[in-house]
Amino acid sequence: MPIYHPDRDLLEKIIKKVKSQKFSGKIEIIKVEKGLGLAASMNYGIKKAKSPIVVTLHQDCLPSSNLWLRNLVEPFKEKEVVCSVSKVHLPFDFWNKFDSVAKILSSKEQKIITPAMDEKGCAYKKTVLLKLRLFDDKNYRTAGEDLDMYLKLKKSGKIAYPNAEVLHFHKHTWKNRINKELQLANSQGALTAIHKEMKGRYAGFFKALPILGYPLFIFSINPQKLGISLSILALPLYLLVNLIYSYGFWKGFLMKKQTI
């Protein structure tokens, strides 16, 4: 568990939930609170882990049931499985308390998502991670390392998506969400430069064009979820996000690493 300025009450609840898992194997919890950055913190914990299967769990992700861990590691009975991924659910009641800007920009996450591989609650074969030289903490400090690892893992074996879910309690404000959009764009630019085979690469270039890429942001507006007033507010907001995205993306693309 990479730890950085956590909600201590939530963290305690998560650890208690992990300890209460109905799991026959031994559970070792490694909390990394060294301010190393997300990728480097995970690498530190992976190296310390003693078991052949290692799990990354973010400090704001609560297992949804006491069967979470058992279900997450079950796919490793198949020899070719190298990674197992949890579904991620941003609860509606939690999301609904965000400010207007944060609600708009995180609205696409307010559902049960099956990510390709985003570390929020994922299990891996340690030997495979070591063979791949762990998460790339040189080019991606706090974003992008997950997709980078996914692209490597899928070449190494099978990635499983079992009936395992974590509840994501990441509190967004307008300020930290705008910063996050910039950071994600920056890492996306780096990924696009490094992984030339990445799916959707050319659409990413178009999205990163100032003004011209704006329509792609408009498509993410969900009036049914946001309502009329927030949907109207989203129109100028996404123009700003398009410009922010353009700056972050091209800086990451030209530098070939996450720099923001």
Question: What pLDDT is attached to residue 199?
Answer: 86
pLDDT digits (tens, 9 = 90+) for 150-191: 999 999 999 999 999 999 999 999 999 999 999 999 999 999
Closest-CA residue to 49 (of 154, 129, 146): 129
Beta strands 165-168 and 81-85, pairing class: unpaired
Mean pLDDT, rounded, for 107-127: 96
Domain boundary among 172, 199, 234: 172
| pLDDT confidence tier of residue 60, bands split at 50, 70 and 90 | very high
Number of H helices, E strands in the chain: 11, 8
Instruction: State the residue for tokens 């209460």.
Output: 20
- The answer to whether residues 25 and 123 belong to one domain is yes
Q: Which of 128, 149, 172 is the last residue of a domain?
A: 172
Model confidence pLDDT, tens digit, residues 65-79: 999 999 999 999 999
pLDDT at 217 over 90: yes
What integer is the mean pLDDT of 239-246? Answer: 98
Q: What is the mean pLDDT of residues 127-136?
A: 98
Print the domain residue range for 181.
173-260
Say yes or no: 148 and 243 in one domain. no
Q: How confident is the model at residue 106 (pLDDT cuts 50, 70, 90)?
A: very high
Half-sphere exposure of 168 (CA within 13 A, CB side): 21
CATH number of the structural domain spanning residue 17 = 3.90.550.10
What predicted TM-score, i.e. pTM, was given to this entire model?
0.95
Domain count, the chain: 2
- Is residue 66 within 8 A of residue 21, CB to CB? The reply is yes
For residues 229 and 252, what is the distance between their CA atoms, to the nearest angstrom? 34
